[in-house]
Amino acid sequence: MEFSALGGPMDEGQILIHEVGYLEENDWWIFPNTVSPFWRFYYNFDPGHHVVFRSHTIPLEPANMVLIPDHQVFDSRGMGKVRHFWVNFSLDLALKKGDSVILPIRQHELDWVTAISKIIIGNDPRKHFNVLHQTSALLHSVFTRPEIPWNDHPRSPNALKIAAYIAKHYAEPLEVSRLAQTVGISARTLSDLFQREYHMSVPRFIARVRIREAARMLENTNLSIEEIAERTGFPNRYYLTRVFTKITGKPPARYRKDSLPGNRSDADSH
């Protein structure tokens, strides 16, 4: 279920939910080099699937929930049938360090996850409203837990505004100087800000957002690579292919092929 799909302006302390989902039988979860401008919340009711970072692997187990900050690169791996719940969201906080947080799930949090999952697959006439607000309650409960190593300072409002602007206008020409003008700062200040807040340059941030959208189109549409390049702000398919391969480790055509259910065993071998 989609809510604020492409982000938007945020106030301090606000959680912006983009997508909430539940699968009764998630029997194929092979997505290499996932890149997202949003945070992820994962919970599996059954063991068997994993999130893989460059340096470590996190099993998705019924006793734990996993938080993954924005702009991380990871693999999703799993082929056995599991009940899988997820939330994509944004907030103005950052971790002091680390690419993920593993938390033991408490009973009231599990009750929320269970209730939300039932609403998603049910016929509740107020499904959209109830999923949004119960998911908000779940995330607020999780984020107040003392185990999460939050950075002492919230993210800069200017960084959040620019990130939201990029998420909405990724298909348009995006120059650092023009982005800086939208919040009334210099291009150098904006560049320093993104290095401090997101640990990457502004052009790299833009590229990751565009590649995320390109990956979604490759997985879910029959658009040609030329059309996808045009719709995601790349000048041509060759430039898209070069950037896509650098970030995901695969050229677009191979990524599309491996994302097809008929190629499950082939994708799992990589």
Provide the CATH number for the domain around residue 136.
2.60.120.280
Contacts of 165 (CB under 8 A, 6+ apart): 179, 182
Tens-place pLDDT, residues 178-211? 999 999 999 999 999 998 887 789 998 899 889 8
Statement to judge: residues 53 and 117 lie in one domain: yes
Statement to judge: residues 119 and 164 lie in one domain: no
pLDDT level of residue 267 (50, 70, 90 thresholds): very low
Tens-place pLDDT, residues 155-169? 788 888 898 889 889
Check residues 35 and 214 and name the one with the higher pLDDT: 214
Note the pTM of the prediction, 2 decimals: 0.73
Distance from C-alpha of 155 to C-alpha of 168, rounded to nearest angstrom: 19
Q: Which domain holds residue 254?
A: 157-261
Task: Give the residue from 121, 143, 165 where a domain finishes.
Answer: 143
How many structural domains are present in the chain? Answer: 2
Instruction: Return mean pLDDT, the chain.
Output: 87
Task: Please indicate, yes or no, if residue 222 is contained in any of the structural domains.
Answer: yes
Task: Please indicate, yes or no, if residue 19 is contained in any of the structural domains.
Answer: yes
- DSSP structural state of residue 54: S
Statement to judge: residues 136 and 256 lie in one domain: no
- DSSP structural state of residue 124: -
The pLDDT of 90-99, averaged and rounded, is 82
Statement to judge: residues 100 and 191 lie in one domain: no
Cβ atoms 95, 149 nearer than 8 A:
yes
